[in-house]
Amino acid sequence: MILVGVVILQSPEPTRTVDEIMESPSKYVGDEISIRGEVLDGSIDNSSMTFILHGSSNQILVEFAQASVSNGLDDNRTVYAKGVLKYIDSQYVFEAEIIKTSCPSKYEE
């Protein structure tokens, strides 16, 4: 007897910018997505475990209470986050599962 199996590989979702997501956020609600943006200066609130991630013209509230967070989460840092976009109390909230910070270049002045 010969068994033949087929493996279907689903390609990962591309990382999107805050601006891309917020152009039409309703189409991403409930989906697991990856997002990239910059932490808004002064927006990290460790008591509510939230911060604001912004792009060029849009921003989104990120909730990170259940997230695995790499070292270096700080104001004005570019971060990558994976999680689920939700619509809660008339606003979009990104519930992060993973947050990774980019390493500052040693060549920056």
pLDDT tens-digit map of 32-79 = 999 999 999 999 999 999 999 999 999 999 999 999 998 889 999 999
What would the mean pLDDT of 1-6 be, rounded to a whole number?
58
Is the pLDDT at 97 greater than 80, yes or no? yes
Is the pLDDT at 8 greater than 80, yes or no? no
Choosing among 3.30.2000.10, 2.40.50.140, 3.40.640.10, 1.20.1090.10, the CATH entry for 15-101 is: 2.40.50.140
CB–CB of 18/37 below 8 Å?
Answer: yes
CB–CB of 67/97 below 8 Å?
Answer: yes
User: What pLDDT, on the 0 to 100 scale, is given for residue 106?
Assistant: 40
Between CA 69 and CA 46 the distance in angstroms is: 12
